[in-house]
Amino acid sequence: MTIRRHLLAAAALALLAAAPLAQAQSDTVKIGVILPMTGQQASTGRQIDGAIKLWVAQNGKKIAGKNVEVIVKDDQSLPDQTRRLAQELVVNDKVVALAGMGITPSAMATAPIATQSKTPLVVMAAATSSITEASPFIVRSSFTLPQAAVGIAEWANKNGIKKTVTLVADYGPGFDAEKYFADRVTLNGGQVLEKLRTPLRAPDFAPVLQKVRDAKPDALFVFLPSGQGAAFMKQFAERGLDKAGIRLIATGDVTDDDQLADMGDVALGVVNSHHYSAAHPSALNKKFVADFMAMNKFRPNFMAVGGYDGMRIIYKGLEASKGAGGEALLAAMKGQVFESPRGPVLIDAQTRDIVHDMYIRKVEKKDGQLWNVEFDAIKAMKDPGKQK
Ligand code: VNL
């Protein structure tokens, strides 16, 4: 009995203590960002975190008269952690929006929390097509693998590449890349000799590269998540596949701007497709790259742009909703049209997915540095994964 009374008193005290706090908090809108700041996908976390800092420095911490607070949590790209952190951010911190999501399994683990709590979740990195279908509260600022894979498949068909082998990371975005590349090249008369996969965690490229060598395709198509490109390129060169006349084509995840400088000349001439290049020749992008590098001391990649644009979607959404979350914020995120450092962008109101230009690029050296130089584009591309 005494214990019970004691507990009740403690609970009442806690509530009392929370009341003025809750009031003070109503002047603050919180945004909860979950990123892999450590572990295998740390480069993605570092890029998005750098972009968020830049966005806040440029756009301030006040929206509709309220203070904005961005809370960044590290999930080490472990989906159980992502889910736990999302729950804490919603229940304890009362965030109006969730954001981040370095890999597809993290986004999938968080989707039910977004739905149940009616909290908009802005996916800034993960890129499996089906993510936006996992919750009506998900909005995507990154891209989709079907968008990237179809772009390079069409280029291959038009450029005399007949026989291909595919190599992808063995999970959601890899399955999308493999399927949409293979479907498109075969539709246009090309051939896929073999479909190879490597594990997301600690991949070993040696055995699959031997299989590629034996299959003797005209080209190898590769998708690997951001951060694995440099290790892959090194092995591709060490095993002499470039010398064996096997052309390398890829999604831009592999020729990641963040790692391109470390890849060396093996990357030269690699044709790939993606939605963002640090060399995109617009005034807005030049300013974005210069400001990002001045602040963070490294080159922004496509992950940084997903983070930057995701903040734009949240900020403009909150301006329209006057700081409210839930359905009001979600509605204000849908249908946004704006110029991104990547080019023109639309958040499709129906699918909540991103519509943008998909560029065909070639790795070239300029002023001693490697860049993805855009030379063609498929304009205003919707996610082919949604057009079933
Ligand atoms: C994903 C897709 C992750 C593309 C990536 O890098 C990437 C994903 C971490 O959906 O998990 O480049």
Query: Residue 128 CA: which ligand 1 atom is closest?
Result: 10
Q: Is 176 in the pocket of ligand 1 (CB under 6 A)?
A: no
Residue 1 has pLDDT above 90, yes or no: no
Residue 67 has pLDDT above 80, yes or no: yes
Query: Residue 106 CA: which ligand 1 atom is closest?
Result: 11
Q: Is 104 in the pocket of ligand 1 (CB under 6 A)?
A: yes
CB 182 within 8 A of CB 154: no
pLDDT at residue number 261:
86
Query: Residue 41 CA: which ligand 1 atom is closest?
Result: 9
Q: Name the amino acid, one letter, at 140.
A: R
The torsion angle over the Cα atoms of residues 91, 97, 103 and 109, rounded to 10 degrees, is 40
pLDDT tens digit string along 300-330?
999 999 999 999 999 999 999 999 999 999 9
Phi, psi of 133 (to 5 degrees): -90, -5
Residue 12 has pLDDT above 50, yes or no: no
Q: Give me the chain's average pLDDT, please.
A: 94
Q: Is 256 in the pocket of ligand 1 (CB under 6 A)?
A: no
pLDDT at residue number 55:
98
Please, which pLDDT band fits residue 195 given cuts at 50, 70 and 90? very high
- Token readout for 138 is 């998900």
Cα atoms in the Cβ-side hemisphere of radius 13 Å centred on 325: 22
Residue 262 has pLDDT above 90, yes or no: no
pLDDT at residue number 388:
57
Over range 112-141, report the average pLDDT: 98
What is the layout of strands, in order, in the sheet containing 121-123? 62-63, 66-74, 28-35, 97-100, 121-123, 138-140
Q: Is 82 in the pocket of ligand 1 (CB under 6 A)?
A: no
Over range 142-159, report the average pLDDT: 98
Residue 50 has pLDDT above 50, yes or no: yes
Q: Is 149 in the pocket of ligand 1 (CB under 6 A)?
A: no
Give me the count of residues in the chain: 388
Say how many Å lie between the CA of residue 127 and the centre of ligand 1: 6
Over range 32-40, report the average pLDDT: 98
Residue 3 has pLDDT above 70, yes or no: no
Q: Is 252 in the pocket of ligand 1 (CB under 6 A)?
A: no
Using a pLDDT cut of 70, give the percent of the chain over it: 93
Q: Name the amino acid, one letter, at 56.
A: V
Neighbours of 334 (CB within 10 A): 16
Query: Residue 302 CA: which ligand 1 atom is closest?
Result: 12
Task: Name residues whose C-beta falls within 8 Å of residue 93's C-beta, 6 or more positions apart in sequence.
Answer: 30, 32, 71
Say how many Å lie between the CA of residue 65 and the centre of ligand 1: 36
Q: Is 260 in the pocket of ligand 1 (CB under 6 A)?
A: no
Over range 224-247, report the average pLDDT: 95
pLDDT tens digit string along 202-227?
999 999 999 999 999 999 999 999 99
Please, which pLDDT band fits residue 6 given cuts at 50, 70 and 90? low
Residue with CA closest to ligand 1 atom 10: 126
pLDDT tens digit string along 286-304?
999 999 999 999 999 999 9
pLDDT at residue number 22:
44
pLDDT tens digit string along 18-28?
444 444 457 99
Query: Residue 256 CA: which ligand 1 atom is closest?
Result: 12
CB 104 within 8 A of CB 131: yes
pLDDT at residue number 314:
99
Q: In this structure, which long-range contacts are made by residues 16-20, counting pairs with CB atoms below 8 Å and at least 24 apart in sequence?
A: none
CB 122 within 8 A of CB 325: no
Please state the separation of Cα 227 from the chain's center in Å. Answer: 12
C-alpha distances in Å from residue 279, one per residue of 81, 104, 174, 276: 35, 27, 26, 8
Which has the closest alpha carbon to 316: 302, 334, 304, 303? 334
pLDDT at residue number 308:
99
Mutate to test the pocket of ligand 1, among 104, 131, 176, 372 (most ligand atoms within 8 A of CB): 104
CB 321 within 8 A of CB 328: yes
Q: Is 306 in the pocket of ligand 1 (CB under 6 A)?
A: no
Over range 246-271, report the average pLDDT: 95
Q: Is 41 in the pocket of ligand 1 (CB under 6 A)?
A: yes
pLDDT tens digit string along 323-366?
999 999 999 999 999 999 999 999 999 999 999 999 999 999 99
Q: Is 44 in the pocket of ligand 1 (CB under 6 A)?
A: yes
Which of 6-10, 55-59, 84-88, 308-312 bottoms out in mean pLDDT, i.e. has the lowest? 6-10
